[in-house]
Amino acid sequence: MVRTRGPAAPTLPRSARKAIGELASPGPHRVLRGELGLVGLPGVIYAPAEGTGLPAVAFGHDWLQSVDRYLPLLRHLASWGFVVAAPASHRGPLPSHARFGADLRTALDVCAGVRLGVGDISVDRRRLALVGHGMGGGCAVLAAADRERAGEPVAAVVTLAVSETRPSAIDAASAVHAPALHLAAGRDQISPPPGNADAVADEWAGPVILRALPKANHLGFLYGRSLVDNLLAGKPHTPTARLARALTTAFLLHAVTPDQALSDLVTADLKGTDLVLAR
């Protein structure tokens, strides 16, 4: 993607560059792990060891991918103060996108409605977000649109190399007014740019940022290796995962705790990325 729309990005100050590096590293919170299976939904949940009124994220995996391949990202977000739930449903070759979107909504409800830890960890319903990779990104958009129609909008949406879904995530984007960050992989052969991420961003009803990672492939956001990789184009890429981790953390923190310094990080000119759209 070479097209640039919206205002020119400011030059990133030296302190902001340092902040991006810090946000790519684990945060200050000790992290606990639990199982969503305890409430009837397969998957995992990570949370800071303590805290009340915390923000929460439901994370959607890509097509055929195990939740285990995202555990470093899930733990990372929890270390920065988020409760993170990742359903492990619909991993087969013919998943239901609508039902997976419903599972993401359920995961958010679990985070907001169940006291975690030993009952001393709670979530603020006004600080809920959706994040997803590939198919999970498209389903996150579906889930955000459904919550908005139900009068329960989320605070933010982040997609990584978003894939189109049935029903259409591109169509659903026009119903979502929450701020969004869409990261597109420049070497994506599964969700080729400027296709899905660009189309979703164009249709987005609320504030939206679209960044391209020119050296990233579709699987670059994952961790570890799997036999499934042999069926797909690309492989995990540590620099991609690290940069996506920092950008996702910065955007989510800004969405739930607005801060000018974080806003500068979200819209700045960053090495390894192209700011395609900021609206």
Closest CA to 175 of 198, 196, 197, 154: 154
Candidates 115, 111, 113; CA nearest to 77 is 111
* In a domain? residue 116: yes
Q: How far apart are CA 204 and CA 178, in angstroms?
A: 9
Task: Please name the amino acid found at residue 158.
Answer: V
Domain span including residue 160: 14-278
Q: Which of 34, 41, 55 is nearest to 102 (CA)?
A: 41
Confirm whether 19 is domain-assigned.
Answer: yes
What is the DSSP-derived secondary structure letter of residue 94? Answer: S
In a domain? residue 5: no
DSSP state of 230: G
Tens digit of each residue's pLDDT, the chain (279 residues): 333 333 333 344 455 567 778 889 999 999 999 998 877 899 999 999 988 899 999 999 999 999 999 999 999 999 999 999 999 999 889 999 999 999 999 999 999 887 676 567 889 999 999 999 999 999 999 999 999 999 999 999 999 999 999 999 999 999 999 999 999 998 888 876 656 899 999 999 999 999 999 999 999 999 887 767 766 767 888 999 999 999 999 999 999 886 666 776 778 778 888 999 999
Domain-located, residue 1: no
Give pLDDT, residue 65: 93
| Residue 256: count of CB within 10 angstroms of its CB | 20
DSSP per residue, 116-165 = BTTTTEEEEEEEEEEEEETHHHHHHHHHHHHHHHTT---SEEEEES----
Rg (CA), the chain: 17
Number of domains in the chain: 1
Q: Please report, for residues 49, 57, 129, 168, 234, the alpha-carbon distance to residue 125 in angstroms, rounded to integers and kept in the order given.
A: 19, 11, 10, 26, 37
pLDDT, position 194: 57
pTM for the full predicted model: 0.91
> What is the C-alpha separation between 221 and 69, in angstroms, rounded?
9
Q: What is the pLDDT of residue 151?
A: 96
CATH number for 240: 3.40.50.1820
Q: Which residues contact 177 (CB under 8 A, 6 or more apart)?
A: 148, 153, 205, 206
Strands 156-160 and 121-133: parallel
Indicate whether 6 belongs to any domain: no
> Is residue 127 a part of any domain in this protein?
yes
The answer to whether residue 8 is domain-embedded is: no
Phi, psi dihedrals of residue 209, rounded to the nearest 5°:
-125, 130
- Give the number of other Cβ atoms within 10 Å of residue 65's Cβ: 23
Residue 4 lies inside a defined structural domain of this protein: no
